Amino acid sequence: MLRDLLVENLGVIQRAEVAFDPGCSALTGETGAGKTLLVAALGLLRGGRADRTLVRRGATEARVEGRFELAAGHAAGPLLVESGALDRLERDVMEVVVSRTIGDGRGGKVRINGRITALSTLEQIGSSLVEIAGQHEHQRLSSASYQRGSLDDFAGEEAVALAGDVRDAVRASIHAGRIVDELRAEERERARELDVLRYEIQEIEGAGLVPGELERLRRDASRLEHAETIGTGVASALELLRAEGGVEESLAQAARLIGELGPLDDRFEPVARRLDSLSLEVADVASELRAADVTPDPDALADTRGRLDALAKLRRKYGDDEEEISAYLERSRTRAAELDATGSEMARWEGERQSARERAVAAAERLSSIRRDAARRLEKALTESLGELALPGARVEVALTPRDLYEGGAESVAFNVAMNGGEELRPLAKVASGGELSRTALALHLLTSSREVPTLVFDEVDAGVGGRAARSVGEKLSRLAETTGAQVLVVTHLPQVAAFAHQHLSVEKLEAAGRTSAVVRPVTGTERVEELSRMLAGMPESGRAREHALELLELAGRPTP
């Protein structure tokens, strides 16, 4: 419920602080005193459009702040946590402070529990905190979704739960269907890509790549291509090394001669050893040259060149070396596996779509049956209630029209009314005046089984009402608060309505230093009698009016001085 309201620099209100009690509260005052501004302030707290012209002359901005207490499990809880306004859902009472500023020619700001918040977030949260029914607040009542929801509320908890099941299942079916459509639209491209990947994988795997093979093939190709040149060079080198008087023979002779000098002069001993070593090394080199296979092999050369050409083709397409080609192969295998899995994914989503639709159909069939029964009962109850609210000729029809399954079920729901006897039934939004809409909203609130919005505001529900009908309005508003636990705020010009309120707030205009300001104060005891007398006769001091005011309070069961 709304505990406190602070309004600053909004129209004629310079500063007003109002503490609201549970139950039914009446706001009364002369025309133009500022009652409408309080309703406008509440509209701002629920995310309504800001009118910068309402900023008080001389002020740079207007400010509205409301402190709400919400029961654990209230619908706004998850949204408050999601927006960061609450750290976690409370197990007991949640306190929410909503503030909003309107700049004079500048943008305003929205804060929830001190945290700057987007206006769109406030619209979501605010609509679950305050509901306003009045001359300019009839759009919700006129909307098909609101009428459908009102019928389900009237029908009871099972209908509300089934409506939620239908909505969720239809949304799930639509979501799954969109994914299936997207996958199907991509199927041709996916098949083409998969064919290419499979060809590439087969080509790379068929090549049988071996690490280091490319470098080895390059060496083999060079050897085979220059076999004759290599053979000639080897033969010439062997000739120089092994021929008579060649290097090998000369080194051996030199080693023998120097070796003979060692005993004579020890300086030659290391030289002799070095010559022996050189002689052995040359002999070893000559042996390796003789063992080298330098015979030209055209077949081996052709095979090597063919393998290099095959690898060159892979390198042009998949990477510069074996490592890059192998990495490309792994990526292709992974992607091919993903594409192979898409077929099963499409089947899974198709199954989910069908399953969700079956759930929606089953819930919608049961919901339709409940709605048909509830529609007849609501027609009767709403017609009777409107008769008690000074609309004796009103008739109501709750029309159910079958249609294709959608989030709202298997039928559309429309409230058709005739507000006067002899008139045709027509859609509520096209027939009812603002006052009639307000009273229809009041009747609906009284009849629906549960409401999630804790604070209900009725602006001018008494339009065109007087006498016994006005008393009935007051009784019904009081009963609404008492039976549902909702907080009811009613702006009224009728003393019969105000007398039934549990709390009475008076809005007055005061003038000081040439400026007019509105003040809001609770009136009790004698002051309440005086305010009711003013409303009755325009004369708070009138004795007869005071007697009538006391009579109204006694009739309503409210305290008298």
pLDDT of res. 428: 83
Express each pLDDT in 385-430 by its tens digit.
Answer: 888 887 888 999 999 999 999 999 999 999 999 988 888 999 887 7
Residue 529, CA atoms < 13 Å, CB-side half-sphere: 16
Q: For residue 75, list its beta bridge partners.
A: none
Q: At 390, is the secondary structure helix, strand, or coil?
A: coil
Note whether 310 and 322 are within 8 A (CB). no
Q: At 409, is the secondary structure helix, strand, or coil?
A: strand
**C-alpha distances in angstroms, 264 versus 257, 261, 272?**
12, 5, 13
Q: Return d(Cα 135, Cα 461) in angstroms, integer.
A: 8
**C-alpha distances in angstroms, 382 versus 140, 325, 493, 494?**
18, 78, 25, 23
What is the pTM assigned to this prediction? 0.61
Q: Return d(Cα 82, Cα 118) in angstroms, integer.
A: 12
Q: What six digits make up the tokens of 139?
A: 């759009």
pLDDT of res. 449: 46
Note whether 89 and 72 are within 8 A (CB). yes
Max Cα separation, the chain? 161
End-to-end CA distance of the chain: 29
Averaged pLDDT score across all residues of the chain: 86
Instruction: Categorise residue 16: left if φ over 0, alpha if ψ from -120 to 50, beta otherwise.
Output: beta
Q: If we measure between CA atoms, which residue out of 500, 462, 496 comes closest to residue 479? A: 500
* Residues of the chain falling short of pLDDT 70: 104-107, 134-139, 226-227, 230-231, 234, 238, 243, 245, 291, 293-295, 297, 342-343, 432-435, 449-451, 461-464
DSSP character string of 300-334: HHHHHHHHHHHHHHHHHHH-SSHHHHHHHHHHHHH
Q: Return d(Cα 199, Cα 148) in angstroms, integer.
A: 58
Sheet holding 115-116, edge to edge: 13-19, 2-10, 61-70, 94-103, 109-112, 115-116
Please tell me what DSSP assigns to residue 393.
Answer: T
Q: Return d(Cα 218, Cα 311) in angstroms, integer.
A: 11
Domains of the chain: 2-138+433-522 (3.40.50.300), 191-339 (no CATH)
Q: Measured in whole angstroms, how far is the alpha carbon of residue 88 from the centre of its chain? A: 18
